[in-house]
Structure 1
Amino acid sequence: MMPKSLSFLRALTWIGMAALVVALGAPAAGVTSAAGACGAATCLYLPTVSTGCKAVGGSYNQGVVFQRDPDNPPKQASQHPGKNLDLRGYEQRTVGFSTSLIDYGSGGDPNAPQFPTLFTTPRAIVSRYFQIYSWDDFNNQPGSLLSENNGSYPITALGLSTTAGETIRTPLANYDLGAGVAAVVLYADADSVTVHYTRDDSSAYGYTIFIDNLCTDPNLLAKYTALDTGARYVFAPGSGYDLPTLTANQPVGAASGSEIVVAITDAGPFVDPRTCNPGAGFWNSLGSLSTNVACLGRNPGGGILSLP
């Protein structure tokens, strides 16, 4: 058995090593002896040191929105599948679809939000493709994946390549909510923001963009948390109360790693974020689409499920 004095000295030695590692800025995942790997008795695991999210958007204002969802009592936004994307979840797809943006032909909205403007220098570099889970209202839980078989699109979320720490902005759209407001925030937590382009507190109206895997601006998160209470959760259809508002292209946070995930609904259903219909898609702001993926046309005569 090791003498208590020696054990104490060894403990002090490890504490000193840990402090040195942190002071030098080395990764704090684990400190090992030269003889072994982490998992042995000589390993010391240190907690991850978080510097927190940086403020990138300046100050955030608030403005009136109107209660539209029929739930009585109103669902907490964190528990609402139309406001919190993480509640549903999503899964990467690797086969059975076109790894491209898609021109669905006629139709679309020339005023629609523009995904390239999520970034200070607009771009479109798609890293991964995802399908979102449906929602089982009866059991109040995620259902099966949305799929072509139930009338959804083959892709309903995109991974967009980022550099850790770069600013993520409110996507530009040609909508004016008055008083300099371009959009409102329906939901925010530490790593996601839900941006809405009407003054309705519901994703059943207009466009809603979900941005996941970012480091939310702490000022925006504080503003949202302070307003996510009170009248919002008293059932009174059509009543007004404040939520955070955003100006055109105002930053909402910073990329936390090499990818953010985005999705969009149009008056309720999730639609294909790859849509690049000329003049009426979600990528028009790039003009000639300088991107790592092409804007392909759908099959001649095909519907939304008949893709190249």
Structure 2
Amino acid sequence: MPGKHPWITGTIGAVVLGLAQIFAGASEGNPTPPLSPALPTSPSPQATYRVYLPLISRSVCEPIPGASYEVFPVISPVASNVADNPDYNLLLLGYQTVNEYKGLVDYVGGSDDRAPQFRFLFGDHRIPVFLNVYKNNGWDWENHQPLPPPPGWPPVSVAGLAVHPGEVLYVPDSGYDIGGGFDAHVLYADENQITLKYTAEDSTAQGYTVYITNICVEPSLLQLYRQWNAWGRSQLPALRGGQPFGRARGTQIDVGIRDNNVFMDPRSRKDWWQR
């Protein structure tokens, strides 16, 4: 057996020494000294190795395969910059966390069986987990800035719903038709939100307006909206119930709804979660 070699150190030294011992033992009948590798004659620190692998990631905002979009005429298009209008832009208006029940609630009274149904936001038509609930801010139109949330009903006007990052989201189906078989116009869109209007007027004053934030609007849909918005809004993208419009950015999307410009409670089972 070969003796100890003071110049063999660290992990590499241990491996070489082990191989030398194996070769020496295998040749006991014909003792031939094992070959010694050309190693440094002075001790060196144990080598440390790092392997760098490429990071492969998939953007949650990637296009939706097969998605395509059309435009449809708008009634009374507005001339103002809608991005600066809190009726169109929910993130401009803003909303605050409230200490209310996180789940569906039951109200008495009638309901509209043609109202948008939030189950259809999701491909599996589930009732999602309610992670957070919010109340919308008020608005100071004179100074163009938000005010504290207004008192009174509804106690909740925006719901934070659990999703998977990158999950495809779909237009809440309804019994309404703005023409051409479309359920809703895209009244406003940017990189983080979409506003859907279930009548053909370019206004939130009549009918249902649905807001969905914390999303990636499908890139081709966002481009189409921006084109027609810049061209005067005579037509805007129009979507059918169940049509994909974007993806979830993270683990929560925020959803609000107005009826004739009045915020409603998105938790109401009899209104938005009927089927």
Normalised to the residue count of structure 1, the TM-score between the two structures is: 0.69
Q: Offset of 1:50 from its aligned partner?
A: 8.4
Partner of 2:269: 276
- Please name the residue that 1:186 is paired with: 187
CA contact (8 A) 1:182 1:248 kept: yes
Please, which of 59, 62, 70 is the counterpart of residue 68 of structure 2? 59
Give, in whole Å, the separation in 2 of the partners of 1:55 and 1:164. 14
Q: Give the Cα–Cα distance (whole angstroms) in 1 for the partners of residues 253 and 60 of structure 2.
A: 18
1:68-109 Cα distance to aligned partner (Å, 9 max, x none): 66xxxx33111111111011111112x2x3333222211221
CA deviation profile, 1:202-261 (whole Å, cap 9, x unmatched): 1111001000001110010000010112334xxxxxxxx100011221111011110100
* Paired amino acid for 1:249: G
The correspondence for 1:137, drawn from 118, 123, 141, is 141
| Contact persistence 1:124–1:160 (CA under 8 A) | no
Structure 1 unmatched ranges of 5 or more: 1-16, 26-48, 233-240, 286-308
Contact 1:54-1:253 within 8 A present in 2 as well: no
1:52: Cα distance to partner?
A: 6.8
**Once the 2 structures are TM-superposed, how far is the Cα of residue 276 of structure 1 from its aligned partner?**
1.4
For residues 249 and 24 of structure 1, the distance between their equivalents in structure 2, rounded to whole angstroms, comes to: 34
Which letter does structure 1 place at the counterpart of 2:146? P
Distance 2:77 2:71 in 1: 18
SS of equivalent residue, structure 1 residue 120: coil
Match of 1:296 in 2: none
1:128-154 per-residue CA deviation (whole Å, 9 max, x = no partner) reads 111111111111111111332xxx311
Q: Which moved more, 1:186-195 or 1:98-107?
A: 98-107
Structure 2: distance between partners of 1:145 and 1:264:
16
1:1-308 → structure 2 map (5 Å cutoff): 20=52, 23-25=54-56, 51=59, 53-56=61-64, 58-67=67-76, 74-93=79-98, 95=99, 97-125=100-128, 126-148=130-152, 152-232=153-233, 241-277=234-270, 281-285=271-275
Give the 3-state SS of the residue equivalent to 2:209 in structure 1. Answer: strand
Give the Cα separation in 2 of the matches to 1:68 and 1:272. 28
What is the identity, as a one-letter code, of the residue corresponding to 1:78? A
Equivalent residue letter for 1:53: C
Alpha-carbon distance in 2 for matches of 1:168, 1:52: 12
RMSD: 2.0
| Inter-CA distance 256–99: structure 2 relative to 1 (3 Å threshold) | closer
Task: Tell me the distance in 2 between the aligned counterparts of 1:155 and 1:52.
Answer: 29
Equivalents in 2 of 1:104, 1:52: separation in Å? 36
Conserved in 2, the CA contact under 8 Å of 1:131 and 1:147? Answer: no
Letter in 2 for 1:283: W
What SS does the aligned partner of 1:221 have?
helix
- CA–CA distance in structure 1, aligned partners of residues 243 and 231 of structure 2: 26
Equivalents in 1 of 2:144, 2:254: separation in Å? 24
Percent identity over the alignment?
35
Local SS of the residue matching 2:187: strand
Alignment gaps of 5+ in structure 2: 1-49
- With over 3 angstroms needed to count, the CA separation of the structure-2 counterparts of 1:260 and 1:163, relative to structure 1, is same
| More relative contact order, 1 or 2 (CA 8 Å, 6+ apart) | 1
Is the radius of gyration larger for structure 1 or structure 2?
A: 2
Q: Scaled by the length of structure 2, what TM-score is found? A: 0.76
